Structure formats: structure tokens, C-alpha cells
Structure 1
Amino acid sequence: METTEKTKPAFTSKDFHQTFARPTFVMPDKLIHRNVEQAGEHNQFSTERKHPVFFVDLPTKNVSMTIGGLLPGQLTNKHRHTYETVLFVLEGHGYTEVEGVKVEWTAGDAVYIPSWAWHRHQNLNDTEPAKYLACENAPQLQNLGVALREEEGRDL
């Protein structure tokens, strides 16, 4: 077993027996992200998805949270990703289509989007925006190097 500059072990397949649980607590630099929406939209993601997205900027390594919005009447492109998503609807009324199945939602509902399922979202109100919290295990898969995202019509 070799060590890196930070003396962190670099395990190989022959070291599988050395993976004992040794949890340690490390105090992160940041425990709170105040006024998330006041920090502004995530420019690249909001532009690509064509609707407002606000990232909760905390040092999580396994889960992420974003505040997403759908403009009045907006229908997003179909897309899929290797990470799971749970949406909690804060405002509005619309639907999420998962592999051709439409699930209508309204404020207070939670919607599950399985890994690698084609899906899209629509705000059914033509005058008011919709807003939701999206919780995903994307950072965990990114840290493992297996997070993929595919947009229909762009990546196919």
C-alpha cells in the first residue's frame, strides 16, 4: 500500500482486507449558507437548463440540494442522469414525466426520479412560476467518477 503526499493510503485490490471502519469527525469550514437565492442563479446550469437554479453551497460529499424554478408554462428538455433525485415542491402546480409516466404535483408534494430515467418537468400555470427543492446523490457519484448526465437531442 502506497501513501500520497498527505499520507492518505492509496488502496489497491490486494488491500481489501484493510477497509475497516474508522470514522473520524472533521469540522467543515461552512455549516450554513444563508439566503441561498440571494447569492444568485447558477449561471451555467441556469442557462443550459433554461430555468433558474440556485445551488445550496455547503461542503457535502454525498448529497446536494438545489432550489429549482420553472417559469410560467415552461416545459424542460428530457434528460437523465446516473444519480437519484427527490423533488419537494415549494410553490406551483405541474407535472414530472418519468419514462413516459406523468406525475402531477403541487406545493407540498415530493417526487422521486430514479437513476438513469428519462424525465422532464412542466409548470402547468401560465402566469406564475413553480419552485422546488431538488436533493440528489450527485456528489457521491461524482467523487466515485461515475456521475453522468445526458440531455435528449444534445448528447445522443
Structure 2
Amino acid sequence: MASEVMSDARQRQELADELAEYGVRIAQPDDPPLFTKEPKSTMQPFHWKAADLARLLEKIGASLKLEQGGQRRTLRLTNPGLPYGTTPTFWASIQYILPGEIASAHRHAATALRFIMEGSGADTIVDGEQYVINEGDLVLTPSWTWHDHEHKGSKPMIWLDVLDISLVRSLHATFFEGSSEPRQSVNRISDRSYREFGSGLLRPMHEQRTGGPSPVLAYTWSRAQEALSQAAGLEPDPFDDTLLEYQNPLTGGPALPTIGTAIQTLRPGANCKPHRHTGSVVYYVVRGQGTTMIDGKQFDWSKGDFLALPPWAIHAHQNRSDNADAVLFQVNDIPVLKSLGLYREEAADGAMSRGTAA
């Protein structure tokens, strides 16, 4: 379609003004292609470095207030190739909260999550369930759930916030509601979902729910590390070494319907094969150092860095250390692609690779 020649180009142009009066149009010779042979994303690969982010976080922490209402104190990771957001479907930002502060209660149609990057002493309440959050923990905020946070520790806390707001905005389905109270009341059993489903192996026998977001709202770092340790005894995946997805215990699928979350280990000296897939990814380096090649461009990363991967970009990871693991946390929009039947993955040589990893 992109290379199709219009032999009636003059007639099409002559009709354009008349048709526009009635709210209709026909394809014109200078229209951008409606179909392309493969995805052509304007999103760009981008690297945010830990040292830069740390300096800027301290700066906004010293000058910006955290007040009642929906506004948080965050650094938004903006992509230079997009008019809005970090990827075509979600926005990643870094939240900085000081001791004694409360990020007041609100809810929104956008699905959200937070991955704790640094610090301890805060807790979050999601629809009445309260959890202490520590470094490495993943906390979910499903669509339209009330949530608030309070920092009771002695040093600033930093966490990654991700919302599928770009997707929700594109669908014109944005809703938001604030609360008159800074914090919610806590349910009588404050951690019910974790008690019911947190083992990861067993669940209530007569549970009726079968779909939607995960009933587990908090995934602890200790459980994630244990799972990575067990998986390290298996053969490495040629494209991602060891890659584990946070799952919904009701469905066995992704924890959230629109945002994928995974934790990845690159063993010492790992040098993964290049591949590509539909769907965008943002990586956060939990520990270690390595290199990722994206469409021929080299990105050398280390602890605390972020890296954005556009859809259908050929990429390959390497661990630069010969004696220490590298660990990456990632968010992606692959659940959306899969639910719409649009997920595709292939090795750099064009051969189809296993179709589940990022």
C-alpha cells in the first residue's frame, strides 16, 4: 500500500474540498502510508543515567511540595520521539517522597504500579489493604482503585511509577477522582489478598473470580529473588537468559491486563542473541552492569539506570561482568498486544523465536 501509484491523483485532489464539506475524504497521493510492511514507531531508544536522575530528584525534593490532591512529586521519563509519555502506551516516572509526607488518596481509570527503587519505611493502602513497601517490592494499583502512601521512615524514598495513561488517553477513557481525606481507612484484615493468594502455589478453593487484574497487590522482593534463584538452575534462554513474569494467580497470565512486569537475570558473561518483538519496554537496572544493543546503537548501563526499547527494535543484552549477575526489572505493554492478537516476535535473522519473552 505504501508504494501504490495513484493514476487518478488529479481527480482525487479536485474532489477533496467538496468531500470535506460533508465530513468525508478519499485517499490522496501525499497521504502517509496507511499500511507499512512492518511497524514504524516514532518512539526512540533512550537511556536515563542514575547519576543524572539522583541529582534531579534531590533538586525537585528540595523545591517542590507534596500537597493534598492528585499531583505527586515525580520526574517523568519523556521520550523525544513521542508527543506524550515514555512509550506509545504508558508513562514511567520516578516518585520522590520525604519522611513524614503523605501522597494523598485518589483513584483513576489508568492502571498503575510502583517498583520500589530505594528506601524503606513507607506504606501504601490500595482499596483498604495496607502494605509496608521496601526496596525491590512491586505494588499494583489496578484501574479505579483508591490508593495513597505515607512515608514514616527517616530518609527519602524513591520508587518507579508506571501508568497506562497514554493508552487510556488514546481511547478517550480518562477518569479521575480525589478524596477529601488524605488516607483511606484500613480493612479489618489489612492484607487479605496476600493471605489468600500470596503463596504463589495455593489459592482459596472456592474462589469465583476468573479474570481481571491480579488479586495480589504486593509482590515482595524476597519472593522475586527466591524465584530467580530457582530459575538460575535452568538452561538460559538464548534471547533473555532468565526472564520471569509477575503473574496473576487466578489466570496464570500477567499480573495486570495492560502493563506487563518481569524480572530478569543476566548471568556473568551472558551474551544474548538479538531479537525483536511488537510491544515497548522500559528497563530499570536493579544491579550490575551491561550493554544493550538497540538497532545497532550501543547503550552501556549500570545500577539505577533506565533504558527505553521501542516496538520492533532489534535488541540484545550482554552482562559485562564475568563474576556477578546483572538484574533488570522491566515494564512492557505486551499484555495489550497479546490480548489484541498483535504480538509477534522473531530472531534478528528472521526466524520465529519463542513467543513469550521481551
Corresponding residue of 1:137: 333
* Highest RCO, 1 vs 2 (Cα 8 Å, sep ≥ 6): 1
Q: Distance in 2 between matches of 1:136 and 1:42?
A: 23
Paired residues, what number?
A: 136
Is the contact made by 2:239 and 2:316 (CA closer than 8 Å) also made in structure 1?
A: no
Corresponding residue of 2:41: none
Corresponding residue of 2:290: 94
Is the contact made by 2:260 and 2:334 (CA closer than 8 Å) also made in structure 1?
A: yes
Change (3 A) 1:95 1:47: closer
Change (3 A) 1:20 1:112: closer
Query: Which amino acid is the alignment partner of residue 312 of structure 2?
Result: W
Query: Which amino acid is the alignment partner of residue 262 of structure 2?
Result: T
Alignment of 1:4-153 (within 5 A): 29-34=215-220, 35-39=223-227, 40-41=230-231, 47=237, 49=239, 51-58=241-248, 59-153=255-349
Q: Deviations over 1:7-26 (max 9, x none)?
A: xxxxxxxxxxxx99598xx7
Percent same amino acid among aligned pairs?
A: 25
Corresponding residue of 2:46: none
Corresponding residue of 2:139: none
Corresponding residue of 2:126: none
Change (3 A) 1:29 1:45: farther
Q: Distance in 1 between matches of 2:315 and 2:263?
A: 18
Greater shift, 73-82 or 31-40, is seen at: 31-40
Q: Deviations over 1:108-145 (max 9, x none)?
A: 00001100000001011111110010111000111111
Change (3 A) 1:27 1:95: closer
Comparing both structures, which one devotes a greater share of its residues to strand?
A: 1
SS at 1:146's partner residue? coil
Change (3 A) 1:21 1:50: closer
Per the TM alignment, residue 47 of structure 1 is displaced from its structure 2 partner at its CA by: 4.0
SS at 1:36's partner residue? helix
Change (3 A) 1:91 1:118: same
Per the TM alignment, residue 57 of structure 1 is displaced from its structure 2 partner at its CA by: 1.7
Query: Which amino acid is the alignment partner of residue 152 of structure 1?
Result: A
Q: Distance in 2 between matches of 1:60 and 1:43?
A: 28
Change (3 A) 1:27 1:121: closer
Q: Distance in 2 between matches of 1:130 and 1:45?
A: 17
Q: Distance in 2 between matches of 1:88 and 1:50?
A: 15
Change (3 A) 1:28 1:54: closer
Q: Distance in 1 between matches of 2:243 and 2:289?
A: 18
Ranges in structure 1 where 5+ consecutive residues have no aligned partner: 1-18
Q: Distance in 1 between matches of 2:332 and 2:305?
A: 17
Corresponding residue of 1:11: none
Per the normalisation by structure 2, the TM-score is 0.34
Is the contact made by 2:295 and 2:314 (CA closer than 8 Å) also made in structure 1?
A: yes
Query: Which amino acid is the alignment partner of residue 218 of structure 2?
Result: I
Greater shift, 54-63 or 78-87, is seen at: 54-63
Q: CA RMSD in A?
A: 3.0
Ranges in structure 2 where 5+ consecutive residues have no aligned partner: 1-170, 176-211, 249-254, 354-358
Q: Detail structure 1 runs of 4+ shifted over 6 Å in the superposition.
A: 42-45
Q: Distance in 2 between matches of 1:45 and 1:83?
A: 25
Per the TM alignment, residue 152 of structure 1 is displaced from its structure 2 partner at its CA by: 2.9
Q: Distance in 1 between matches of 2:267 and 2:236?
A: 12
Per the TM alignment, residue 51 of structure 1 is displaced from its structure 2 partner at its CA by: 1.7
